[in-house]
Structure formats: structure tokens, C-alpha cells
Amino acid sequence: MTSSSGPGSSKTRHILGRFRQTAVSLLAVFIFTTLVLYLAGAPPFAAYYHIFMGSLGSWIKFSHVIKAWIPLTLCACGLLYTFRIGLWNIGIEGQVMMGAVFATALLRTGVEDGSPAISFFLAFLAAIMGGAIWAAIAGWLKTRGNVHEIFAGLGMNFVAQGIILWLIFGPWKRPGVASMSGTELFPDNLWLFYLPDLRLSPIGLTMALAALGVTTLMLRYTRIGLNLKAIGANPRAAVLFGLKPGQYMLLAMAFAGGFAGLAGAFQVTGVYHRLIPSISSNYGYLALMVVMLANFNIWLVPVVALFFAGLNVGSIQLPIVLQVDSSLAGVIQGALVLTVLAAHGFHGWRKQSQIKTLSEGAVPNA
């Protein structure tokens, strides 16, 4: 008889295990979300129908989903670098904001008098630098100040939000009035090109697809990706092999911030055409859930991101059609976040229990 314990069967079991874990997480999300809808007085299956129709009911609605998918995917790609090395980049929200601020600053300096293509290129480059610098500050606090990246990131988020509000109500306020509606609209030639019928930017879509391709190559086929994985798995052992965890942590944060900054630039040039207080649209926090539900797998990230983008857009229909409170859409997303965290916690606990059982079984009785 041939043995079934070879490398191929081991890889198959690993793939099936990950698929089973994702399926269980999705099932838990469905059950818990249904319960939340029922308790809120909304017919669950009617709510699911209207969410589906609100996101995929027409091409124009689907284009809105793609507009949400683009920044969500960019943020998720950036988070894969920090998760690979074992960092929780909660500050990605602030990095999106600072990318938007840097892009807006460049577009307000008078470059609109030149070629729009050059203006967009410089704005995107400035946004990448802004997000990367903001992330690097949190990384520096982690590596040099021994401040946990979660606390550093949350603090940087509040600062970034404060900077945006100061700019909108101060130096960049609209002529004669300052309001929460944001800064003055950019000139038409500084609106990112979009397809008129769908109001969807092919440039933004190309950026998201390119980010997926670059991230796949970087994490799977380059020395940087291998080193990030090695440090994330065992930082002490990595030092023995000559790696410097601090430097690679800063590098991972810079990559994450750069992608997040690009998402911010897309928001100001391709969606709102100005800087607004809620420019990040919470895509950074949502991207954390996307990456976790995708089990940190780059191939699943675009699919899970599309699901969350569809939910984000489709849930807007619930207050209109079912006459439920407008906050229910946020409650549904909160329920999704809670369920994903609980599912991952359960899988982690189960894995540790199995390891403990195997280790105890390997010890001979005295």
C-alpha cells in the first residue's frame, strides 16, 4: 500500500484546513448577523435581498461597489506586510488620512496649471510618502520607544483626524465659510478620469490590481517577503541569522503606509474630489477584518474585500426600503467584525489545544 502522508497530501490537508476555517467563519458571520437583524426588527432574508440588490442590482450600483473595493483592497494589501512580520497596524486609518492630506496639499499648490497627468503622478507620489511617513512614525515608536504599535497607531489616527479638521476649518476652508462638507472642490481637470456611464475610474481599478500583483510578488517571491515571514515567525532566531527585526518592521510599516496613502489619494481625486473629515470612510479598520477573514491569504483578499464592499454599499438601502434605523448598517458591520474576531479566537484556541494534547501524548508516563 502507498503511504498517504507525503508532502502532497500534507499540502492538501493544509489547504482544506484553511478552506474549512474560512467556511466556518462565514457561517458564523451569517448566523450572528441574522440574529442581529432579527433582534433589530428587520426581516433577515428581506434585508439580505435588499443588500444584494443595492450592491449588484445594476451596473451603476456595482460600480459603486468597485469604488469602495479599490481603497479597501489597497489598505488590505498594505496590511499584509505588517501582519507578515507580526505587527498590528491599527494606525492604517491615519495613514489613509495623511495620504489624502498630502495629495490635497500638492494639488492645491498650483500644479493644476500644468499637465493633469503630471499633477496626478505627483499627487499619488506625495500620498504614498505621506502614508509611509505616518506609518514609519508609529514603527519608530515601536522599535525605538517600545510603544506597542496598537497604541501608537490609535494615537496617530486621532492626530491625523485633528490635522484634517484643522485644515478644513483653517488654512483650507472654503471661501467665506468653513463646514464639515470639506474643502473647495478641485477643478474639473484634477478629477481622476472616470467612465461617464459608470462614474468608475479605470485608473483607480488599475492601481488596486497592480497593488495585488506587487504584493503577491513581494511577499511570495522576494527576499524581503521571506525575511518578513522569518522575523514574524521567530524574531530571536531571525537575529541569529543576521536579520535586523527593527529595520524590517519599519520597512513593513512604510509599505503598509504607502498603500494606505494611495487609497487616500484615490478618495480625494476619484471619489470626493476634495478633502472631507471622513475621507478614510473607515476603510482602514474594515481592511483589518478583510485580511483576517481572508486568513492573511493574498488570493482571498480581493474576494473578501468585494464582499465587504458590497455589504458597505448595499446596506445603505436598508433604512430606505425597510424603514429601519440608519445605524443598523453600522451594527451589521460591527456584528461582522465581532464574529470574525470570535471565529479567529476559537480557531486559535483549538489549534493551541491540539498542540498541547499532542505534546502531552508524546511524553512517556513515569
- For 179-222, how does the pLDDT look when each residue is reduced to its tens digit (9 = 90+)? 778 899 998 888 998 888 878 899 999 999 999 999 999 999 99
Residue in the structure block whose three cell numbers are 485608473: 203
Spans of the chain below 50 pLDDT = 1-3, 366
Phi/psi at 187 (5° precision): -60, 155
Question: Can you say whether the dihedral through the CA atoms of 111, 112, 118, 122 is positive or negative?
Answer: positive
Work out the angle between the directed axes of helices 149-169 and 116-143 (0-180°, nearest 10): 140
Cα 275 from chain centroid (whole Å): 20
Give me the helices (H) in 144-244, please.
149-169, 202-221, 223-233, 235-240
Side chain identity, residue 136: A
User: Coil, strand or helix: which one is 200?
Assistant: strand
Question: How many residues would you count in the chain?
Answer: 366
pLDDT for res 84: 95
pLDDT for res 128: 97
Domains defined for the chain, CATH in brackets = 44-338 (1.10.3470)
pLDDT for res 2: 47
**CA geometry: angle 110, 116, 122, nearest 5 deg:** 70
pLDDT for res 156: 96
pLDDT for res 6: 55
What single string gives the DSSP state of each residue in 116-158? HHHHHHHHHHHHHHHHHHHHHHHHHHHHTT---HHHHHHHHHH
Phi/psi at 200 (5° precision): -120, 135
* b (16+ CB within 10 A) / e for 317-332: bbeeebebeeebbebb
